[in-house]
Structure 1
Amino acid sequence: MGELSELFAPGRVAVVGATEREGSVGRAIMDNLVSDFAGEVVPVNPNYDEVLGLPCVPDVGDADADLAVVVVPPKIAVEAVRRAGEAGVRNVVVITAGFGETGAAGANRERDLTEVADEYDLNLVGPNSLGIMSTPNGMNATFGPENAEPGSMSFMSQSGAFITAVLDWANDEGIGFKDVVSLGNKAVLDEADFVRAWGDDPDTDVVIGYLEGIEHGRDFIDAAREVTRDTPIVLVKSGRTDAGAQAASSHTGTIAGSEQAYETGFDQAGVIRANSVQELFDSAQMLANQPLPESDDVAVVTNAGGPGVMSTDAVGESGLSMASFSEETLETFGETLPEEGNIYNPVDIVGDADNDRFREALDVALADENVGTALVLSCPTAVLDYEELAEATVDLREKHGKPVAACFMGGERVDEAASVLQEAGIPNYFDPSRAIEALDALRRYREIAGREYDEPTEFDVERERAREILESVRGRDDNRLGVEAMDLLSAYGIETPAGEIVDSATDAETVAEEIDGPVVMKIVSPDILHKSDIGGVKVGVADEDVYDAYEDLVTRARNYQPDAAILGVQVQEMVDLDAGVETIVGMNRDPQFGPLLMFGLGGIFVEVLEDTTFRVAPVSEREAREMTEEIKTAPLLRGARGRDPVDREGVVETIQRLSQLVADFPAILELDINPLVATPDGVRAVDVRLTVDPDEL
Structure 2
Amino acid sequence: MGTLSALFTPERVAVVGATERQGSVGRALVENLTADFDGTVVPVNPNYESVRGLDCVDSVSEADADLVVVAVPAPIAVDVVREAGATGVTNVVVVTAGFGETGGEGVDRERELEAAAAEYDLNLVGPNCLGIISTPVGLNATFAPRSAPPGSISFLSQSGAFVTAVLDWAADQGVGFKDVVSLGNKAVLDETDFVANWGDDEDTDVIVGYLESIEDGRRFVETAREVTRETPVVVVKSGRTEAGAQAASSHTGAMAGRDRAYAAGLREAGVVRADSVQDLFDAARALAGQPVPETNGVAVVTNAGGPGVMATDAVGDGPLSLADFGSTTVDALRDRLPEGANVYNPVDVIGDADNDRLRDAVDIALADGAVGSAVVLAAPTATIDFDRLAADVVDLQATHGLPVTTCLMGEERTRGAADVLSEAGIPTYFDPARAVGSLATLERYRAIRERDRPDPTAYDVDREAANGVLDRARDRNTTRLGVEAMPLLDAYGIPTPAGEVADSPTDALAVAERIGDPVVMKIVSPDILHKSDIGGVKVGIRHEEVYDAYEDLIARARNYQPDATILGVQVQERVDMDASIETIVGANRDPQFGPLVLFGLGGIFVEVMEDTAVRLAPVAETEARAMTEEIQASPLLSGARGRDPVDRGAVAETLGRLSQLVTDFPSILELDVNPLVVRPDGVEAVDLRLTIEPES
Q: Shorter-chain TM-score: which interval?
A: over 0.9
What's the counterpart of residue 670 of structure 2? 670
Alpha-carbon distance, 1:447 to partner? 0.5
| Residue 335 to residue 647, structure 1, CA distance change in 2 (3 Å) | closer
Query: Counterparts in 2 of 1:256-335, with a 5 A limit?
Result: 256-335=256-335
Q: Which amino acid in 1 is paired with 2:512?
A: A
Structure 2 SS opposite 1:523: strand
User: Counterpart of 1:534?
Assistant: 534
Alpha-carbon distance change, 467 to 108 in structure 1, aligned in 2, over 3 angstroms: farther
Deviation at 1:273, TM superposition (A): 1.3
Who is 2:100 aligned against? 100
Q: Deviations over 1:411-431 (max 9, x none)?
A: 111111111111111111011
Q: CA offsets, 1:73-99, max 9 Å, x none? A: 111111211222222222211101111
Q: Secondary structure at the match of 1:514?
A: helix
**8 Å CA contact retained: 1:302, 1:350:** yes
Structure 1 counterpart SS, 2:58: coil
Are the equivalent residues in 2 in contact too, given 1:264–1:616 (CA < 8 A)? yes
Superimposed CA distance per residue, residues 262-282 of structure 1 (whole angstroms, 9 cap, x where no aligned partner): 222222221111111111111
Matched, 1:657 2:657: yes
In structure 1, what is the equivalent of residue 135 of structure 2? 135
SS at match of 1:425: coil
8 Å Cα contact 2:585/2:655 also seen in 1:
yes
Map of 1:84 onto structure 2: 84
How far 1:668 sits from its partner (Å)? 2.1
Separation in 2 of the partners of 1:79 and 1:246?
42
CA distance in 2, matches of 1:169, 1:312: 30
Mapped contact 1:2–1:197 kept (Cα < 8 A): no
Residues 478 and 694 of structure 2 are in contact (CA less than 8 Å); yes or no, is this contact kept in structure 1?
A: no
Task: Determine if contact 1:473/1:694 at 8 Å carries over to the other structure.
Answer: no
Matched residues in 2 for 1:666 and 1:44: separation? 50
Cα distance per residue 1:149-205 (max 9 Å; x no partner): 110000011111111111111112221101000011111111111111111111111
Q: Is structure 2 residue 362 aligned with structure 1 residue 370? A: no
Where does residue 17 of structure 2 map in the other structure? 17
Deviation at 1:681, TM superposition (A): 4.1
Contact 1:2/1:200 (8 A) holds in 2: no
Q: Give the Cα–Cα distance (whole angstroms) in 2 for the partners of residues 353 and 643 of structure 1.
A: 54
For structure 2, which runs of at least 5 residues remain unmatched after alignment?
A: none
The C-alpha deviation readout for 1:365-407, integer Å capped at 9, x for no partner, is 2122222211121122223221111111101111111111111
Partner of 1:228: 228
Number of residue-to-residue matches in the alignment = 696
Measured against aligned partners, the alpha-carbon deviations of 1:198-243 in whole angstroms (never above 9, x if no partner) come to 1111111111111112232222222111111111111111122334
Instruction: Say whether the 8 Å CA contact 2:2–2:122 is kept in structure 1.
Output: no
CA contact 1:595–1:663 (8 Å) conserved in 2: yes
Correspondence 1:124-523 to 2 at 5 A:
124-244=124-244, 246-474=246-474, 479-523=479-523
2: distance between equivalents of 1:26 and 1:465? Answer: 63
1:117 is matched with which residue?
A: 117
Give percent identity, aligned residues only.
68
* Partner Cα separation in structure 2 for residue 445 and residue 464 of structure 1: 43
- Residue in structure 2 matched with residue 687 of structure 1 by the alignment: 687
Displacement of 1:465: 4.1
Give the conservation status (yes or no) of the 8 Å contact 1:462–1:492: yes
- C-alpha change, 1:642 and 1:383, in structure 2 (3 Å) is closer
Q: Give distance in 2, aligned partners of 1:543 and 1:654.
A: 32
Letter aligned with residue 423 of structure 1: E
> Cα deviations across residues 534-588 of structure 1 (Å, max 9, x unaligned)?
2211223233332222112111211222222211111223322334332211122
CA offset digits 1:620-654 (Å, max 9, x no partner): 22222221222233344444555444443332222
Shift of the alpha carbon at 1:2?
8.6
Pairwise mapping of residues 48-63 of structure 1 onto structure 2 (< 5 A)? 48-63=48-63
- DSSP-derived class of the 2:155 partner: strand
Residues 245 and 254 in structure 2, CA contact (< 8 A), matched pair in contact too: no
Change (3 A) 1:229 1:68: same
Relative to structure 2, which stretch is displaced further, 210-219 or 384-393?
210-219
Q: Give 1:508 shift.
A: 1.5
Q: Name the SS for the 2:331 alignment partner.
A: helix
Deviation at 1:523, TM superposition (A): 0.7
Contact 2:481 2:526 in 1 (8 A): yes
Whole-angstrom distance in 2 between the partners of 1:78 and 1:463: 48
Deviation at 1:473, TM superposition (A): 4.8
> Once structures 1 and 2 are overlaid, which stretch shifts more, 185-194 or 259-268?
259-268
More divergent stretch after superposition (296-305 vs 644-653): 644-653
Shift of 1:148: 0.9
Deviation sequence 1:305-358 (CA, Å, 0-9, x none): 221222122222222122222222222222222223222222222222222222
Q: Equivalents in 1 of 2:515, 2:118: separation in Å?
A: 60
> Shift in Å at residue 510 of structure 1?
2.3
Q: Is the 8 A contact 1:243 1:259 kept in 2?
A: no
Residue type at the aligned position of 2:191 = E
SS at match of 2:343: coil
> AA paired with 1:514?
R
The residue type paired with residue 214 of structure 2 is: I
CA distance in 2, matches of 1:72, 1:100: 16
Q: What is the distance in 2 between the residues matched to 1:299 and 1:91?
A: 49
Q: Is the 8 A contact 2:670 2:691 kept in 1?
A: yes
Deviation, 1:468, is 4.2
Distance 1:194 1:571, change over 3 A: same
Secondary structure of the residue aligned to 2:569 is strand
Distance 1:73 1:468, change over 3 A: farther
CA distance, structure 2, for counterparts of residue 3 and residue 623 of structure 1? 35
Q: In terms of mean alpha carbon deviation, does 249-258 or 508-517 score higher?
A: 508-517
Are the equivalent residues in 1 in contact too, given 2:2–2:123 (CA < 8 A)? no
